Amino acid sequence: MDGVYAALARVPLFRNVRQEVIKLERLGGALTNVCYKVTIGSAAYVLRLAGKGTSDYIDRTAEEHNARVAAAAGVNAKVLYFDARDGTMVTRFVEGVSMNAGEGFGLDSGAPIRAARALERVHRLGRVFRSRFDVFAAIDDYLGLLREQRTPLPEDYYEVGRKTRAVRRALEASPVPLVPCHNDPWPGNLLDADGRIYLIDWEYSGMNDPMWDLADLSVEAGFGPEQDRTMMEAYRGGTVSPALYSRLEIYKAMSDLHWSLWGFVQHAKGNPVEDFWSYGLERLGRSRTRMGSADFSRHVGVVREGGRPCAPKRVYRVEPERRKTVRKVPESG
């Protein structure tokens, strides 16, 4: 625990606090970072220690900015300390229930509605995030990392990769205004605090097509058609066009592909926390199945021909030199 106490000593809030009055509890759910609940008297915080090598593909300066913007808007835990050099962060501890625990989305019919409304608040933050999350750029970056590690891709990837080029062209032909996005809204990153939803772990946040967040949530939470409809109607505040559902469907396939490659990178880097090769194969298989479905080509065609959602009320400008790249998995805090 010496490293944990050394990290706490760097934080002005804890600098003069004696070790014996600090209670530490390691939090579960993280695959790349390590998080601790830090309790001092009646006050509780979360210390996040970034995983080794994660700053190679996470823009920590952008993460800090975006996380503070989200906290100021009340959709993230308050950020009390952030060291962009190594990703060490301290936030207030949010007393809530992870939406990945217990009933989660499976038995709570209102959960998709609350989650959709939380994402809608993020998308209308009113301030520009300092990074750009582009799934195709992220995929290219992962492929580059795998080449550097001399890790061969599974044979199934090449078929999916060919079909991905058509998806990319379709989305480029029908762009939408970019908005602030979380980009990793898996249920473990959503905390339900008596009905108020907080989103944590803003490592992959950046300006993006808002449908990515909804598609990623749908995939990670295992939504079926009815839950998708509930989520989308809550997000849009009414009936949703078939064209918007087509956009959702193609991003679902890209979500599985993105996180499959992320898993292969974790495997290549020797992350021992999980069998990331099997994880990557499972996600790749899901992406392949989605892209091989009878309706997928129709969805791509609808998007390519210009069927698109209405533009958000706010239009944002993004600093072109800052492009968000990669990752995945749950981090507490």
Type of residue numbered 9: A
pLDDT tens per residue across span 32-73: 889 999 999 999 999 999 988 787 788 999 999 999 999 999
Half-sphere exposure at residue 310, Cβ-oriented, CA atoms within 13 angstroms: 10
Q: What was the pLDDT predicted at 306?
A: 81
- Annotated domain spans of the chain: 2-92, 98-304
Topology of the domain comprising 98-304: Aminoglycoside 3'-phosphotransferase; Chain: A, domain 2 (3.90.1200)
Is the predicted pLDDT of residue 308 greater than 50, yes or no? no
Cα–Cα distance for residue pair 330/30, rounded to 1 Å = 5
Average pLDDT over residues 306-324: 47
pLDDT confidence tier of residue 330, bands split at 50, 70 and 90: very low
Is the predicted pLDDT of residue 106 greater than 50, yes or no? yes
pLDDT tens per residue across span 218-230: 999 999 999 999 9
What tokens appear for 90 in the block?
A: 């301290």
Type of residue numbered 304: R
pLDDT tens per residue across span 114-146: 999 999 999 999 888 999 999 999 999 999 999
Is the predicted pLDDT of residue 27 greater than 50, yes or no? yes
Closest CA to 136 of 245, 219, 306, 257: 257
Q: What was the pLDDT predicted at 30?
A: 75
Q: What was the pLDDT predicted at 168?
A: 97
pLDDT confidence tier of residue 102, bands split at 50, 70 and 90: low
Cα–Cα distance for residue pair 251/215, rounded to 1 Å = 6
Closest CA to 105 of 212, 165, 188, 161: 188
Q: What was the pLDDT predicted at 104?
A: 67
Query: Does 98-304 match 2-92 at the fold level?
Result: no
pLDDT tens per residue across span 246-256: 999 999 999 99
Percent of the chain with pLDDT over 90: 77
Using the Cα atoms of residue 149, residue 265, residue 176 and residue 158 in order, give the sign of their dihedral.
positive
Is the predicted pLDDT of residue 288 greater than 90, yes or no? yes
Average model confidence (pLDDT) for the chain? 89
Q: What was the pLDDT predicted at 291?
A: 97
Is the predicted pLDDT of residue 215 greater than 90, yes or no? yes
Domain 2-92 annotated CATH 3.30.200.20? yes
Q: How many CB atoms lie within 10 A of CB 31?
A: 18
Let me know: does 216 contact 184? Beta carbons within 8 Å: yes
